Each structure stands twice: as C-alpha cells, then as structure tokens.
C-alpha cells in the first residue's frame, strides 16, 4: 500500500459489466510531503468518493476488491482504501 | 492498473489450450499525454477488441482473468480492461 | 519480504470497516545497516505493536492478511510480520 | 506477461517434489527487436519445450501454474506460456 | 523466480505463530556469475536448509507457501525453492 494524490478522472468505455457505474481515478504516488514520486500514474477504483487533490492510501490487491464488488470476475486490482488526514512522522 | 497504448499483435504458438483463439496484444505504458514511459512492453490478453493506437486501461491480475476465461488453469495475468475515451485531469 | 524501518503513523479516514481500529504505519525499506533504500514509503498494517524506529520485516501478500483479519473483503496487502532483533551476516 | 529470450538451463537440486522432473529455464526480458532489457534474469518453468534462443512469452502468476502442475503446494510462479513466432508492430 | 545468494540469517521476534521455528534467510539477487544485482535484499523462508554462500532459486508467491506450511494465515510470500548446482548458459 502506498500514498498517492488524486489527479483526475478516467472517462472510458469499460467492456466488463462489473466496472460499469464505478468511478476510476487517476492517481500518482507521492512522498510524505505530497510531492510526486516517479513518472507513473496508476488507475484506481474509487468506492469511497475521494476527490481531486486528496492524499489517499492505495492498495493493489485483486481478491479483496473482487469480493467487495461481489463479482469474482471483476478485472480490477487497484483501489483507493482511505483518505489520509494527517501523517505523524518521527524519523 | 495503468494506462497503455496498443502497439501491435503477437503471433505465437500458444501451447496452452486456454489461450487458443484469444488475441494477444503488445502494449506499452503511457503517461496522460500518451507518451511512452520506460522501455518495457507488456503482452495483454484482449477480450474487448482494442485496436492498434488505442489508449487502454491494463490490469495485471490473474484470478479474475482465469474466471473470465472459464479456465482456472489459464496462465494469463495481463488484460485490456477498457478503452480510454478521455482523461479529465486537474493537477 | 523485505527489511524496513518504521517512520511514522498514518492518521486516515478508512472507509472500509475491516480497517477501523487497526494501526497503519509508515515504513521505508532499509539495507542491513538500517540505511534507507530508494524514495518510496510503504504503508503497512501493524498487528504486532511495532514502534517508530523499529527495524521490521514487511510482507506484501493479500490473502494471508485477509484471513488474519477474519475478513475476506479487507483491502490490505502490506503487513508488519516481525520485529528484527539482529542480523547475522557473512558475505 | 512479457517477452523474453531463453538463455540457458538451470541445473538445481529442487527440494520440493512438485518441481522434480520439470525443466527450469533461464530467461531474460527482451524488447521487440530481441535486445535484452535491464540486468535481471528470470527463472521460468517450461512445460512447452522451449529451446535456447527462442523468443517466448512469460507469465508470472502462481495460481494457474499450481493448477497446471496439479499440485497446490508447488512453489512456482513463473512460466513459459508461448513461443513467439512473429510480432506485427505498427507504432 | 530469480537467482539469489544467501548472505545471512535474520534473528527476529516473529509475532505470528506460523513463523515460529522456521529459518528466515537474508538473500540478495545475483546474475549468472554470482554477482549482486541492485541494492535490495530479500528475506526468504528456508524449508530446504540452504546455507550462507549458496546460490539459490527464490520464488515470491504467497498461496503455495501458505499451503506448504499448512497454515492459510501465514504472512509469508518469499521462499528458497532450490539450491542451484550449475547454470548451463548459451547466449
């Protein structure tokens, strides 16, 4: 699981029924200061109504998401798990 | 899940029955401007008739794909999930 | 599985019930001298009461964690497995 | 799934019964011109009689392989899925 | 699956019962000449009595290991699969 910032929405033509009606967000990994790390975006399913600019916790794990969607055939493995309110760091 | 652009087709000799008859596409990760990222291609199963040049959403997750193929022994873990029509970005 | 050092706590708004009440720690991969490697933090579920500054063993594996939480729908795949007391290295 | 070229054979002492009698190949990721990418080899189970120098499709996915071996305890997650005859690229 | 060299032992305080009594080894990925690649160590469960200095085959796959331990809740996903006696390379 890692920290990411929501950058945008994906407008797509999902061909799999399990994805219809679900929001797909474009997110990018960030460090603890909210700065982007690397050059790769991820696309994550949003079941918790995260918004653009939010710092979130993202999990890449297929089984749990499939069970949350109630659909074992859902081809999804990335999900917004929580909105991060605060980081308490002590290095 | 990540964004990718379809670059070509794979003409192969699949030895596993579950793959016979399915299209395998060569794809490459892209950023939100459609520019290639990194130097690695991925090979993805296509069940949604994506075409060369399409920007797509790719998922790497074995279980769901195996269930979609109706074949628990299908050695596949990369799949074209959706064709991306538009990105709504607000950084 | 890899070595990491605990850097902080995450204060978040988990939307999934399976995560409520569980501590999420911010950790960073370290080498055998305890020096940070790379620029990516990971967020890990803590079921063993690790503290800030501890060198720990982290496992990224969804199924086992879901079963430990007794909740197949828990979207978690990173966990603090053990606190490392000593490394016996002989290169 | 990714493209790779077979470089050699592994002569090992497998301690797990499910691996005895199966060929383990040394492979290295390649681009669409057959040139090596990166510095990491992978070890892949070969059930399709690939040979040294072949360009193959490799899949990293544990569940399907375990079911193909008929052995849920087989600690294997990398497999040669197909021999690539041709790439039809149109960038 | 990849080649690695055993560097040391981990002396830890496992909090999960499934790990008590099992040896955890510190390993580092190597190329076919036995030279270290990258700067990341991995921690692997050893069920085959590998020793420091051995070149081994390491598999990262949770399900099989959990079944070998007879414990579906074992939070382990990295394992020493075989000791490599020889590499037969023909590039």
More confidently predicted of A56 and E12: A56
pLDDT (average), residues C53-69? 84
Reading the block at residue E32, the tokens are 């076919």
Most confident of the following: B4-18, B38-52, E8-22: B38-52
Reading the block at residue A83, the tokens are 């909105």
Residues of chain E with C-beta less than 8 angstroms from the C-beta of C31: 39-41
pLDDT (average), residues D48-73? 83
The answer, yes or no, to whether residue C58 has pLDDT greater than 90, is: yes
Residues in C whose CB is inside 8 Å of some CB of E read 1-3, 29, 31-32, 37-38, 47-48, 57, 59-65, 67-68, 79, 81-91
pLDDT (average), residues C23-44? 93
Secondary structure class of C62 (helix, strand, coil): helix
| Residue of chain B with shortest Cα separation from D66 | B73
Cβ–Cβ gap B61/A76 under 8 Å:
yes
Q: What distance in Å separates residue C60's CA from the closest CA in chain A?
A: 9
**pLDDT tens-digit readout, E17-67:** 777 778 899 999 999 999 999 888 999 999 888 999 999 999 988 777 777
Lowest-confidence segment of C39-43, C67-71, E6-10 by average pLDDT? C67-71
- Residue C59 · residue C47 · CB < 8 Å: no
pLDDT above 90: percentage of residues in chain A: 48
| Confidence band for B14, pLDDT divided at 50, 70 and 90 | low
| Residue of chain C with shortest Cα separation from E71 | C64
Of C10, C42, C62, the CB nearest to A61: C62
Backbone angles phi, psi at A27, to 5 degrees: -130, 160
The answer, yes or no, to whether residue A14 has pLDDT greater than 70, is: no
pLDDT (average), residues C12-17? 72
H or E, element range at A46? strand A36-46
Fold of A2-83: OB fold (Dihydrolipoamide Acetyltransferase, E2P) (2.40.50)
Signed CA dihedral, B17, B21, B27, B29: sign only: negative
| Confidence band for C78, pLDDT divided at 50, 70 and 90 | very high
Output the CA angle B47-B52-B54, nearest 5 degrees: 80
Cβ neighbour number for residue D42 with a 10 Å cutoff? 18
**Structure confidence at residue D8 (pLDDT):** 94
Enter the DSSP assignment of E16. S
Rounded Cα distance between E24 and E6, Å, is: 11
pLDDT (average), residues C52-69? 84
Rounded Cα distance between C35 and A62, Å, is: 32
**Structure confidence at residue C47 (pLDDT):** 84
Cβ–Cβ gap C57/E43 under 8 Å:
yes
B78-89 vs B36-46, strand pairing mode: parallel
H or E, element range at D62? helix D62-69
The answer, yes or no, to whether residue B15 has pLDDT greater than 70, is: no
Could you tell me the pTM of the whole model? 0.87
**pLDDT tens-digit readout, B30-40:** 999 999 999 88
Residues of chain E with C-beta less than 8 angstroms from the C-beta of C72: none
**Structure confidence at residue A15 (pLDDT):** 66
């Amino acid at each position: 699981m890692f920290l990411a910032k929501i950058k945008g929405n994906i407008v797509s033509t999902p061909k799999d029924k399990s994805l219809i009606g679900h929001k797909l967000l474009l997110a990018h990994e960030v460090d603890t200061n909210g700065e982007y790390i690397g050059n790769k975006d991820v696309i994550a399913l949003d079941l918790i109504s995260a918004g653009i600019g939010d710092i979130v916790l993202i999990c890449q794990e297929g089984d749990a998401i499939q069970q949350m969607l109630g659909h074992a055939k859902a081809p999804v493995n990335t999900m917004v798990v929580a909105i991060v309110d605060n980081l308490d760091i002590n290095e």
